[in-house]
Structure 1
């Protein structure tokens, strides 16, 4: 087990002084952040039931984000998860109303109408993905189900029983990985009808919090509540082995790893945690590329844009310490960090590593 390094500790409002503070970030905790795959459109879901959209522009490292559209899940039910369709024209969302909803964005934004229900679970919807080879939406729920939806029909085109409640899933190309309660991880080939590829216990000792596919789809990274990340290869890759490392720990305190975000070009990745820290990593060379100073609140979610030069992250309560630690009215903020290439590009070979 290796440790890449400790994080900074000075509290601030954002990880870097010039990060863009996104306006109208919501009235309750931010649960997901996603980027359109076709343009710099950022979307969030919130515990206040909101789905919000911003148009983001960057020039010479300066970032601006303009609010463009907003919708809500019905009955003020918290929205927990989201994904874009590959053409960027639709947002799929899910949450505590147990519904999977589709929001059609206008050609020039704002959105056209209210989100349309395209599916339902028997318990809250915790995560979503899109299967590009079959144009199917996949949803994971606390009802221990994966369900598959054709956006034109309210009935699922398929469903899979999972070993436990679904906590997170990720789809990249023809690989889908799913993390459930009980530390179970199931991977699928989704080139056609989903076919189970492997089923295993997490390499980490405590509850899984997030999971993300490698950009080359040879494996996945899983993060847990114990401040640890597991790097696991599903396929044998010459010179590379699975391993785990500690992160998001401050002296004797251990914090949850809330999100793992891979950079589309370099294959490096970011982790964010309940300690309010963002770290950039290189798994191949087993290096921490950059550690930012801690901010004042937990970071529940984050994501790189398609080009990899913008990194969005939220600053709000993440429920890692339960409802007793929630302070009503506490700030909920979203920031966009311009990511210079030298921050996220691999720095070179280290002993035991392989340069990308």
Structure 2
């Protein structure tokens, strides 16, 4: 299979904050935007996909994820609230309210936990019932603001300000939340010890974090053109494997220009990962072999978000003007591209 790429029709009107493929349908894509909407696309309806539905929110939406199936989604945003969307009926259901903007939301299908991270320095852990008729919520205090959250089947990794990284065990969080008797949308504040506390190996602010699909580690990126690769195993041998490297940099008139690495995503099958930067470049990396596999042509503006489909056949790339563009009007620059990947396009060295 050879690779091909096309641009989705009817993109958001303002900067894109996140995009996610459905867990089962590789043609179903959710996109959240600062224009206060979440967009649902059928990416392969016609030559340029089709916008099938729009879900309006009271404030800019900062993150979106799918839930237990392809018809359930969750959102977080600047109205401080976490919501569930029924993608079939369009119904928006309130789940909880933080006391500041909510930056991240992530769902675990193994534990049926929804975790939201807010600039109020807390996580809300929502334990959802199978029939979606009830849920309990508990609040986990954090030492600083969470910037990015990523999950494996057993863990959630929270990257925060002050270079702090906390790793929590999902089963422990589920057990904790099951004892939280919160039936009136009040949140019980609970203290839970992280599985591990880490300090980022990088000196600058974490921009994005993404976990390896094999549950062995994660990659993190910064505003200063660097990516770090780390492993969960705390043993000395395993920790000796962690490393960081420079990327998303250009030489302009003899000067090294450094761009933020805004987005990371791991391939669900091959375990390689992609990075997207303020330079408008998407690169594919083999984290184990410590090498870049390929770099795609430059996109029209800053890469804001990346996502692989669950079957690994498609890569979604969202571009939006960032601070590095020097532009305030995103009209005509906000776009979503769908790339159909070639058979070996994202395979690492060991997979060839």
* 1:283 CA displacement: 0.7
1:136 to 106, 113, 124: 113
1:117–1:154 CA contact under 8 A, matched in 2: no
1:146–1:160 CA contact under 8 A, matched in 2: yes
1:132 and 1:278 mapped to 2: Cα distance?
29
Matching residue of 1:255 = 259
> Secondary structure at 2:303's aligned position in 1?
coil
1:84 to 52, 66, 74: 66
Matching residue of 2:182 = none
TM-score by length of 1: 0.85
Query: 1:161-189 CA deviation, whole Å, 9 max, x = no partner?
Result: 11111111011101110011111111111
Matching residue of 1:162 = 142
* 1:156 CA displacement: 5.2
* Higher RCO, Cα 8 Å, sep 6+: 1
Matching residue of 1:13 = none
* 1:154 CA displacement: 8.5
Task: Specify whether residues 191 and 154 from structure 1 end up closer, same or farther in structure 2 by C-alpha distance, changes over 3 A only.
Answer: closer
Answer yes or no: is 1:71 the counterpart of 2:73.
no
* 1:92 CA displacement: 0.3
1:256 and 1:185 mapped to 2: Cα distance?
19
Query: 1:199-255 CA deviation, whole Å, 9 max, x = no partner?
Result: 121111100000111111121111000100000112147697000111111121101
1:197 to 190, 195, 198: 195
| 1:274-293 map, 5 Å | 274-293=278-297
> Secondary structure at 2:318's aligned position in 1?
strand
2:278 and 2:270 mapped to 1: Cα distance?
26
1:39 to 18, 22, 25: 25
Matching residue of 2:11 = 25
Matching residue of 1:225 = 223
* 1:150 CA displacement: 3.5
Query: 1:116-163 CA deviation, whole Å, 9 max, x = no partner?
Result: 211111001100111233312100000000001235589852111111
Matching residue of 2:93 = 116
Alignment root-mean-square deviation, CA:
2.4
Query: 1:256-310 CA deviation, whole Å, 9 max, x = no partner?
Result: 1111100010100100011100000101111111111222200110100001110
Task: Specify whether residues 347 and 96 from structure 1 end up closer, same or farther in structure 2 by C-alpha distance, changes over 3 A only.
Answer: same
1:141 and 1:130 mapped to 2: Cα distance?
15
Task: Specify whether residues 347 and 114 from structure 1 end up closer, same or farther in structure 2 by C-alpha distance, changes over 3 A only.
Answer: same
Answer yes or no: is 1:94 the counterpart of 2:76.
yes
Q: Number of residue pairs matched?
A: 323
Matching residue of 2:179 = none
1:276 and 1:248 mapped to 2: Cα distance?
9
Structure 1 unmatched ranges of 5 or more: 1-15, 107-111, 349-354
Structure 1 stretch 330-339 or stretch 193-202: which is displaced more? 193-202
1:148 to 125, 131, 134: 125
1:210 and 1:30 mapped to 2: Cα distance?
15
TM-score by length of 2: 0.86
Matching residue of 2:152 = 172
2:3–2:340 CA contact under 8 A, matched in 1: no
> Secondary structure at 1:302's aligned position in 2?
strand
* 1:325 CA displacement: 4.0
> Secondary structure at 2:147's aligned position in 1?
strand
2:206 and 2:134 mapped to 1: Cα distance?
31
Structure 2 unmatched ranges of 5 or more: 175-192
Task: Specify whether residues 250 and 116 from structure 1 end up closer, same or farther in structure 2 by C-alpha distance, changes over 3 A only.
Answer: same
